[in-house]
Amino acid sequence: MYLELDGRGALYEQLARSLKSAIVHGRIGPGKRLPATRELASELGLSRNTVLTAYELLCDEELASSRPGSGTYVAPAANTAPVGRAAETLQPQSRYAARLRKLGPIQLRAAPAGTRYDLQYGEPLLNPPLLSRWRSELANAAMRSDMRYAAAQGLPELRQAVCGYLARRRGVIASADDVIIVSGTQQALSLVARVVLDEGDSAVLEDPHYPLALHALRAHGARIVHTPVDEDGLVTAALPQRSPRLVFTTPSHQFPSGAVMSIQRRAQLLQYAVDHHCWIFEDDYDAEFRYESRPIPALRSLDTAGRVVYAGSFSKALFPSLRLGYIVCPASLRTDLVDTKRLDDMGCPAIEQAAMARFIESGRFDTHLRKATAELRRRRSALLAGLQRHAGDLLWLRDSRAGMHVVGWLPKFSYEQLAQLMQLAASRGLGLHAIHPLFKVAPPYPGLLIGFAGLSVTQITSATKLLGGCLRELV
Ligand SMILES: Cc1ncc(COP(=O)(O)O)c(C=O)c1O
């Protein structure tokens, strides 16, 4: 069951709120049995007590009742509408809204109060000099900017700057005409889905996967075909015989496993797209950061058949609230994508685009990337050294020498122990994040997704020590 915790208050309160919302919105129907407490605890990485207490809260509110020996059931009238109910509890008004409600809300989980070290993946590398630099780029751009609507495809100078950047760093040769400026990968995927998919069409998603991609595709009405990933990336031999319309992939640094797609697999995937007349969405989300290894050129750089839609983002390279990214699209999709972008938002904010163009063209972006990579390398080294020192025998590291996270597998732990580990760590102010919710088919043993961008070297050193202590107590 997909449940999001909102990070506010005790874990049992968060869980009760999330279940309540699922009941109220009809995602768990009246009379339905709630999942067994042990099962839900292991799925969410919580303790069984937390789940039991959340269920008790629902019973107290008469939204559910417990039947001894049988389980806890949603009350028969739990989501029947009271007279004069608020508009937001109405039936979904469209199939899209109905699918959204089924998916549940997407919230990026905030660390609970009392968290000292959150090893959360997705935190930006906070950098005060970058912020003051960006402020002055924006001020300069505002002086130069035209106040009228800009081109929906994006400012020509930014599209040109992106081409130069991609040729230098990602081996992608494109013309500014092929580039569309978007507000991040999320919009790129939603535009592409609208242009190439009808409701009911199938889309391949890697297993494990990026949950926001799953939501975007499901909300659009796609049927998802989960396809496994191994050490060489997406297992091309497991791609469906029946042609999908789209394959979503993260070849340079598979999210979240970290696998880098081998050259053979890249060739096979491109051939598959040609043979099956389908599109590949290449999400190149953190290609900038490589340690002790040369970046692998993007899949798009090998695409001679025009099947790859390449999406890049400034969310990792700069910061996610910027909401700027780009698509490099096959010429055959360009007009449809640009027209969709125009209908969506008339184009990205022009001042930010102008600032970004100048930032890249002046070389300051490359300087920033060099410094950010050096800092991330220091943090990553501290993480690896700390994990080796304090948990080397218990945590098997999957380190792809790229990006802003590593995966730590716990082969000696059960899922029950993982839940205990997460709770013990949380009680000591350490935020841990399980990887199994990102799998369709749960892995044989649990693992952690360990982000290292959001903490300083000193904090990372303390966090790994804490983690080692918690692991040792439970093994
Ligand atoms: C797999 C993956 N793709 C893309 C992104 C970036 O998305 P956006 O550009 O919408 O911020 C992220 C950010 O966390 C990610 O993990």
pLDDT for position 26: 83
Give ∠ CA 384-107-409 in degrees, rounded to 5.
Answer: 30
Sheet holding 405-409, edge to edge: 396-398, 405-409, 447-451
> Looking at residues 343-349, what average pLDDT do you find?
98
Q: Report phi then psi at 453, rounded to 5.
A: -80, -30
Query: What digits encode the pLDDT tens for the residues 282-296?
Result: 999 987 899 877 778
pLDDT for position 427: 96
Q: Compute the distance from residue 185 Cα to the ligand 1 centre, in Å.
A: 6
> Looking at residues 160-176, what average pLDDT do you find?
96
Query: What digits encode the pLDDT tens for the residues 194-219?
Result: 999 999 999 999 999 999 999 999 99
pLDDT for position 292: 77
Give ∠ CA 270-331-226 in degrees, rounded to 5.
Answer: 40
Does the Cβ of 122 fall within 6 Å of ligand 1? Answer: yes
Which among 212, 253, 404, 433 is the best mutation to test ligand 1's pocket, defined by most ligand atoms within 8 Å of the CB? 212
Q: What is the pTM (predicted TM-score) of this model? A: 0.81
Question: Does pLDDT of 416 surpass 80?
Answer: yes
Q: Compute the distance from residue 283 Cα to the ligand 1 centre, in Å.
A: 8
| Residues sharing a CB contact under 8 Å with residue 399, sequence separation 6 or more, in sequence order | 258, 384, 406, 407
For ligand 1, atom 3: residue with the closest CA: 285
Judging by DSSP bridges, how do beta strands 405-409 and 396-398 pair with one another? antiparallel
In terms of Cβ atoms closer than 10 Å to its own Cβ (0-12, 13-18, 19+), residue 448 is buried
> Looking at residues 54-61, what average pLDDT do you find?
91
| DSSP assignment of 171-197 | -----GGGEEEESSHHHHHHHHHHHH-
158 or 286, which is more confident: 158
Question: Does pLDDT of 392 surpass 60?
Answer: yes
Query: What digits encode the pLDDT tens for the residues 2-43?
Result: 788 888 889 999 999 999 989 988 889 999 999 999 999 998
pLDDT for position 398: 82
Nearest ligand 1 atom to the CA of 283 is: 3
pLDDT for position 323: 97
